[in-house]
Amino acid sequence: MAKLTEIGWEEFSGLSLDEKSPYLARCEGDGLPYHTLFAQQFDRPLLERLCALANRIRFINKSKEGALYLKSVLAHKRAMLYFSQPSSRTFLSHLAACQILGITTGSVRDAATSSEFKGESKEDSIRTFSSYFDMIIMRSPEQGLAEKMAWELSNSDRPIPILNAGSGKDQHPTQALLDIYTLIRSFENKGGVDGRMVVFCGDLLRGRTVRSLSYLLTNFNDVKQVFIAPKELQVSDDVIAILKKKGVRYEISDDLKAGVKAADAVYMTRIQDEWDSTKGASAKIETSHFKFGAEELKLLKPDGCIMHPLPRRDEIATCCDRDPRAMYWRQMRNGMWIRAALIAATFGYERAIMDCGY
């Protein structure tokens, strides 16, 4: 099995994401990732295993005895939440996932409060964290940083796993996992995810959640993907190239109402103006036709669902919140369970949890 210790950083960084995946797997060869960095590491069997594990954790956690058992599973492990980019949901759901499994946590949520403020390199910061913790869950505005740190740690004297909780405008794999988990749960008694139509709407150019989820959806059969956005914020060519390569049906559009009418799931996103090259650039883009409200709710299928990675602004009207098809609050809670499953599996405790007596 390929290992990160067997390849230099320049060579590794030049590989495609598919070519990088084997270097990031656990040594046991069970298909599970050691470092979780991007969506290309997950195929359908692995997605279904993780969703089954998340369901099992949910069930066990319903009783006091079961919850106490789960807290004992990884009580000997420590995790560092290194979030140098603002976050609330992603931070808290990873924190809650660790707490479910009994993991002790530490955190840095602002580089200004770490030694990076004094000029320490990110590589040295990561090596410092690895001295105290058994896993690093990191979120950064810097594209590709999680990959570089995973390579650095794998080639150190204390290699520990890294979970990418958002890397620049690039990928957000654990968000994509919770999105897939939400879709699977939403359609589990309605024929499944295969053959569905998923509509993405909003800032598709800079939305890393869209990039990651779009790829994970290619693991399912005959799922059509529709991208609805202003031309300035339409999905990037590299995403479309992947869909073409995999023979996935897709459509580019600017008509949200038509998309909603045919959709099984609508995935709304906010305008990612934190990535503006000049302040206020996004505000000049006409986005009024890319909002989901009462009219769109009437057009959505009775068994459809509305999703959003959150936070939202006004792209989903609050009048939608109590509709049973609004899944974004359940989606958020699902993140805690699927992230607990991923963390447990990363440490090799999948079977211990699946086979326990609770």
Q: Which run of H or E residues covers position 211?
A: helix 208-217
Residue type, 128: T
What is the biggest distance separating any 2 CA atoms in the chain, rounded to whole angstroms?
58
Told to judge if 94 belongs to the known catalytic residues of this protein, a careful annotator would answer: no
Catalytic residue, from 35, 58, 172, 206: name it. 172
Cβ-Cβ contacts under 8 Å for 118 (sequence gap 6 or more): none
* Contacts of 105 by beta carbon, 8 Å cutoff, 6+ apart: 78, 79, 80, 81, 95, 98, 99
The answer to whether 252 and 234 have CB atoms below 8 angstroms apart is yes
Based on the residue annotation, tell me whether 118 is a catalytic residue of this protein: yes
155 within 8 A of 5, measured Cβ to Cβ: yes
Considering 139, 206, 208, 339, which one is annotated as catalytic?
139
Q: Are the CB atoms for 236 and 182 separated by under 8 Å?
A: no
Is residue 289 flagged as an active site residue?
no
> Other C-beta atoms within 10 Å of 358: how many?
15
Q: What is the DSSP letter of 36?
A: B
Active-site residue, from 3, 26, 44, 89: 89
Mapped onto helix, strand or coil, the DSSP state of residue 73 is: helix
CB 292 within 8 A of CB 256: yes
CA distance 241 to 92: 34
Bridge partners of 228, per DSSP, are 201, 253
Determine the Cα–Cα distance for residues 141 and 82; give it in Å rounded to an integer: 12
Between CA 351 and CA 346 the distance in angstroms is 12
Q: Which one of the listed residues 90, 174, 269, 346 is annotated catalytic?
A: 90
Cα separation values, 218 from 185, 190, 293, Å? 18, 20, 29
Residue 310 zone, left/alpha/beta (φ > 0; ψ -120 to 50; rest): left
Residue numbers annotated as active site: 89-90, 118, 139, 172
